[in-house]
Amino acid sequence: MKAQRGHAALLTSTALLLVGTLLLPGQAEAGPRRHREAALHGGTGQGDTGHGAMLPDPADLEPGDGARAAMSRLVAEPGSVLDAYAPTSGGGGGLWPDAGPGPMLAATGDALPTGSVSTGRAGAAGPVAPAAAPVASPAGPDPLAYGPASPDLPLLDATTLQHAIEAWVGPEPLRGLRSIPAAVADEKRFDARAAVRDFYAARGFAPLWIVDGGFDGAARSALARIDHAAEDGLDLRATPVTVPHGGDPAALATAELSLTEAVVDYARQASGGRVDPARIGPSVAVRPEVAGPAKVLAALRDAADAGEALRGFNPPHRGYLLLRAKLAEMRRGADMAERGPIPAGPALKPGMTDARVPLVRARFGLDIAAAGGDGLVYDTRVASAVADYQRAHGLPASGVLTARTVASLSGGQPKRLEDEIIANMERWRWLPRDLGARYVAVNIPDYSLDVFEGDRLVHHARVVVGKPDHETPVFSETMKFIIVNPYWNVPLSIVNKEMMPKLAANPNYFEDHGYEVVQRNGETYVRQPPGDSNALGRIKFMFPNKFSVYLHDTNARSYFGREDRALSHGCVRVDQPFKLAEAVLGRDRGWSEARVESMVGGAERTVNLPRPVQVHMNYFTAFVDETGQLRLRDDIYGYSAKVRAALGLVG
């Protein structure tokens, strides 16, 4: 825009110069030369008043044919006229070249006497010509009216944007009304908008997205990512973006704020702010680091690609990305799934062929092309997906496509599976973005434990988790040491609910079952000494937490053979515990499975980990396995149903 105004000003100046110059050739040949020489040398040629002023003859002001032609050319071809006065290559830094006469004199073809005027070079000066008397404007239209008109685009100035932001933020609400959900929501909304206001205030209320009356490249990149928010299971319908199409500054301010609000909302949802985990249950103790407005806007302001920076607020974890890809795959197959219910027919077992199989594949997002042929074979991959579905929906998990399974699948199941995937993607947002170089991940509904180095799986084991009325909590902590030959300090809740009634019936209950009663700081505790009958087994893995929950061996190893393993009081019992010890202590640090197991027997022994290991207690009822297949698990604590409800995915 500055360039446009500068171009117009240059045309204006050129027009005036040409008018002043080209009017002169319309006079008698002797007249103009005599007048110019008198002006340059201070002489008193014809018309000299004796005071150095020169009054032209009125007839001299009539424009000649040359002047009219030049003016017509200026209007029709302004660029070619300006080119005649452009600096030559190698010229100085000013508008005109350092050497040679000025443009007006060059246009007349008259050379100046040597040393009569300044050449324009730094430090070079000559006698200055006396000022000529003002010359009356020629009759007729203003020559500037013929210049090319280019009205400025509307600008979004700082004052207009500041007023719009202040109105958008509004007055501060009453605080302290924590028992009123609407009041709490008002507080959060005000605080978020106030943070946006502070961000803009720090930059002098300069627009972040609007340039020359429209969205700039960063804005368009961010808007493209917002348009694809559903790919990450996000819902931005509450923050629509107003795209500017010219308009006045107030309209541009509205567009600026609408995009700012949308990107802040996207990042808030993507980083875990859509569902408060505390609302799911008291045993869900994760607290995601939700991105605040200032962090979001600063990140996008400094990013080379604002859209990719915005996308980066989503989880980077492989498990999340696999679910995201599976969601897209299922949506691509939704057109087939929505053709109608799966027809009734005979029960299908692996190896059988049936025309309904492609419909079943579409329900689970299985690629028909990958099956080969026409996709009519009910193969083991389809049967496995059916078994997972049956298990998650209270049906016998046989993998056989029974009449009950067909009836269940025909009830809008693709949408239900999408919702379940989105609910699990949401729970990935609760995890730290950095899981650790080496970490332990327990998936409670899958009854499994995995040890990873980066994305590489180094150990897998079955686990037993808490009963539905004794949930294993969901949280992340740091494992710092292990204990071999551990004591079991019986939780007070177990003593009161389970042991005291037995003690009332048998005063020797503790002694008969090998428990010790100890006094510590005026408190009475019950503990079980190390040994084969110890409930913790021979080793436990410690990551101090407020739930007093940890990983440990068990003396009831038969439980690992069960399919449903929600059987403990909340702690996680681990199969193959000494292999886990090797994985977390590090074979490269000299800690083999055999070495750890050789420590069994005798007194309690503590081994500090050479390097701390992160432990993540997760709750995923849907995940993609190493073969790319979607796996479903029972919602044993009801957490997934609560997340779906909080996301508005129920109904």
pLDDT at 101 (0 to 100): 34
What's the distance, CA 208 to chain centroid?
17
pLDDT in tens, 306-351: 999 999 999 999 999 999 999 998 787 555 445 568 898 999 999 9
pLDDT in tens, 247-260: 789 999 999 999 99
What's the pTM?
0.68
pLDDT at 372 (0 to 100): 64
Comparing 51-65, 143-157, 174-188, the range with the smallest average pLDDT is 51-65
Long-range Cβ pairs for the range 287-294 (8 Å, 24+): 288/429, 288/430, 288/431, 289/432, 289/433, 291/267, 292/192, 292/195, 293/192, 293/195, 293/196, 293/199, 293/264, 294/195, 294/198, 294/199
How confident is residue 59, by pLDDT bands cut at 50, 70 and 90?
very low
Distances (CA, A) of 114 to 35, 117, 119, 507: 18, 8, 10, 128
pLDDT at 153 (0 to 100): 54
Spatial distance between the Cα atoms of 569 and 329, rounded to a whole number of angstroms:
39
User: What average pLDDT score do residues 616-638 get?
Assistant: 93
If we measure between CA atoms, which residue out of 346, 356, 357, 355 comes closest to residue 380?
Answer: 357
One-character DSSP codes across 133-147: PP-PPPSSS-GGGGS
pLDDT at 97 (0 to 100): 32
pLDDT in tens, 594-614: 999 999 998 999 999 999 999
Residue-averaged pLDDT of the chain: 79
How confident is residue 523, by pLDDT bands cut at 50, 70 and 90?
confident
DSSP 8-state code for residue 563: S
User: What average pLDDT score do residues 66-73 get?
Assistant: 47
In the set 35, 317, 571, 616, the catalytic residue is 571
Cβ atoms of 161 and 204 closer than 8 Å: no
Burial of 484 (0-12, 13-18, 19+ CB in 10 A): buried
Query: 629 — phi, psi (to 5°)?
Result: -95, 140
Residue 381 has pLDDT above 80, yes or no: yes
Spatial distance between the Cα atoms of 389 and 209, rounded to a whole number of angstroms:
47
- Collapsing DSSP to helix, strand or coil, 478 comes out as strand
Residue 80 has pLDDT above 70, yes or no: no
Spatial distance between the Cα atoms of 277 and 285, rounded to a whole number of angstroms:
7
pLDDT at 333 (0 to 100): 59
pLDDT at 516 (0 to 100): 86
- Who wins on pLDDT, 548 or 77? 548
Q: Which of 38-47, 116-125, 450-459 has the highest mean pLDDT?
A: 450-459
| % of the chain beyond a pLDDT of 70 | 73
pLDDT at 162 (0 to 100): 97
pLDDT at 124 (0 to 100): 34
One-character DSSP codes across 242-307: ----S--HHHHHHHHHHHHHHHHHHHHIIIIISS-GGGT-TTB-----PPPHHHHHHHHHH-SSHH
User: What average pLDDT score do residues 404-424 get?
Assistant: 82
Long-range Cβ pairs for the range 202-208 (8 Å, 24+): 204/158, 205/158, 205/159, 205/161, 205/162, 205/165, 206/158, 206/161, 207/156, 207/161, 207/252, 207/256, 208/256, 208/260, 208/297, 208/300, 208/301
User: What average pLDDT score do residues 181-203 get?
Assistant: 94
Residue 629 has pLDDT above 90, yes or no: no
How confident is residue 37, by pLDDT bands cut at 50, 70 and 90?
very low
Cβ atoms of 458 and 451 closer than 8 Å: yes
Q: Is 552 a catalytic residue?
A: yes
User: What average pLDDT score do residues 553-561 get?
Assistant: 94
Burial profile 417-448: b = 16 or more Cβ within 10 angstroms, e = fewer:
bbbbbbbbbbbbbbbeeebbebbbbbbbbbbb
Q: Is 571 a catalytic residue?
A: yes
Residue 190 has pLDDT above 90, yes or no: yes
- Who wins on pLDDT, 16 or 251? 251
If we measure between CA atoms, which residue out of 284, 288, 286, 285 comes closest to residue 268?
Answer: 288
How confident is residue 12, by pLDDT bands cut at 50, 70 and 90?
very low
User: What average pLDDT score do residues 67-73 get?
Assistant: 47
Spatial distance between the Cα atoms of 368 and 559, rounded to a whole number of angstroms:
38
* 94-100-105 Cα angle (round to 5): 95
Residue 147 has pLDDT above 90, yes or no: no
In the set 41, 552, 569, 616, the catalytic residue is 552
User: What average pLDDT score do residues 216-224 get?
Assistant: 96
User: What average pLDDT score do residues 191-208 get?
Assistant: 97
Q: Which domains does the chain possess?
A: 2-146 (no CATH), 158-314 (no CATH), 320-420 (1.10.101.10), 434-646 (2.40.440.10)
pLDDT at 567 (0 to 100): 96
Partner residues linked to 474 by β-bridges: 284
Comparing 174-188, 207-221, 439-453, 546-560, the range with the smallest average pLDDT is 174-188
If we measure between CA atoms, which residue out of 141, 125, 128, 132 comes closest to residue 75?
Answer: 141
